[in-house]
Amino acid sequence: MAAVEAPQDAFSGTKDVDERHRIDEAALAVWMQANVEDYAGPLEVRQFKGGQSNPTYQLITPNQRYVLRRKPPGKLLPSAHAVDREFKVISGLNKTNFPVAKAYALCTDESVLGTMFYVMGMVEGRILWDGRLEDSTPKDRGEIYRAEIDTLAALHNTDYAAIGLADYGRPGNYFSRQIDRWSKQYRASETQVIPSMNNLMDFLPQSAPEDDMTSIVHGDYRLDNMILHPTENRVLAVLDWELSTLGNPLADFTYFLMQWVMPSDQRGGLAEMDLKAAGIPSIEEAVERYCNLTNRSGLPNLDWFFAYNLFRLGGICQGIAGRVRDGTASSPYAIAMGERVPILGDTAWAFAKKAGA
């Protein structure tokens, strides 16, 4: 399998809008005038380079910049690309001090641009794509990782009912429901037989832990889904809420922890790094910090959580491979994402065996 790199210049910034994702800019300008407070044209539209799933656009006006996220056109998997859910969670979190962009308006009328979309404010800052942070100092690396942990803990400590998100998901049986969801997505998108993924679909439902807590979970919490302050090592906005729901916060945190066990050719994994020399907290230090912030005594059976998260990531990547097959993938990197599935499945099965499979 080819290594999957996430080069900063390839994923950062904007480009001319891809022909497959062109939109009616005149219709958008009319909608913006009617629905976005303080909007004033003229409007220029560009497309962000990053992102595998929902096409994302930069909207430039003389006074302000916005971000538009829309469902991709074409055949889609059930429940995927739920931009209305993204809009709902961002709107709820706007009522708190949690770092998210300002949600302006949601358009469910597909006659405007062809698919549902929403507009939010654009937050100016840094998006870093490689978890190794090779261009940073040890001091900066440590501060960035601690800011990531602290921000995720703040999300999990948020009173979701108080901000109108009590109906954002179903409390209870989170792991079982997630395993079922990603198994179905995997089957719907399957392009080859991968024995380890089949093994995991047998083992994980039988061994899933009971939920001990429900919180907002982001679902894809990692370095490149956040905007850091231009010069300070703090998080200004968490991005890409497509997979968010109510669920077990340990699923979210252990997904973030996978970076420590992933090899460096897998999205900047930390497995081979001298973390102390690099200034990055060890996995034990990361767990201790998170547990202190969320009043936990510790984390049980990390091997099971790693197996679960790698399986889930395999399901996500297989969904992207399915969109390549169906012609709806929004990034040239989607093919490489599909190629990751066998190694993700095999690595997940290795953790499952450590967890008792």
Q: Please indicate, yes or no, if residue 32 is contained in any of the structural domains.
A: yes
Q: Are residues 194 and 105 in the same domain?
A: no
**The token pair that represents 163 in the structure block:** 């901000």
Q: How far apart are CA 90 and CA 240, in angstroms?
A: 10
Q: Is 78 exposed, middle or buried (0-12, 13-18, 19+ CB in 10 A)?
A: exposed
pLDDT (tens digit, 9 = 90+) per residue, 46-85? 998 865 567 899 999 999 999 999 988 765 555 556 899 9
CB within 8 Å of 292: residues ≥ 6 apart: none
pLDDT (tens digit, 9 = 90+) per residue, 96-123? 999 999 999 999 999 999 999 999 999 9
Q: Please indicate, yes or no, if residue 129 is contained in any of the structural domains.
A: no
Give the CA dihedral 158, 163, 169, 175, nearest 10 degrees. 0
- The pLDDT of residue 165 is 97
Q: Are residues 169 and 222 in the same domain?
A: yes
User: What are the 10-residue block averages of pLDDT along the chain, 357 residues in total?
Assistant: 41 80 94 96 90 81 95 63 90 98 96 94 93 95 98 98 95 90 90 93 94 92 95 96 93 95 80 95 97 93 95 89 71 73 93 96
Q: Please indicate, yes or no, if residue 15 is contained in any of the structural domains.
A: yes
- The pLDDT of residue 79 is 54
User: Which residue, of 96, 121, 146, is where some domain finishes?
Assistant: 121
Terminal CA-CA length for the chain:
26
**Residue 345: which CATH number?**
3.90.1200.10
- The pLDDT of residue 144 is 98
Q: Please indicate, yes or no, if residue 87 is contained in any of the structural domains.
A: yes
Q: How far apart are CA 24 and CA 14, in angstroms?
A: 18
Number of structural domains found in the chain: 2
Q: Are residues 88 and 207 in the same domain?
A: no
Q: Please indicate, yes or no, if residue 281 is contained in any of the structural domains.
A: yes
pTM above 0.85, yes or no: yes
User: Which residue, of 59, 91, 121, is where some domain finishes?
Assistant: 121
Q: Please indicate, yes or no, if residue 205 is contained in any of the structural domains.
A: yes
Q: Are residues 73 and 199 in the same domain?
A: no
pLDDT (tens digit, 9 = 90+) per residue, 247-274? 999 999 999 999 999 887 766 789 999 9
Q: Are residues 183 and 216 in the same domain?
A: yes
- The pLDDT of residue 71 is 87
Structural domain boundaries enclosing 250: 138-354
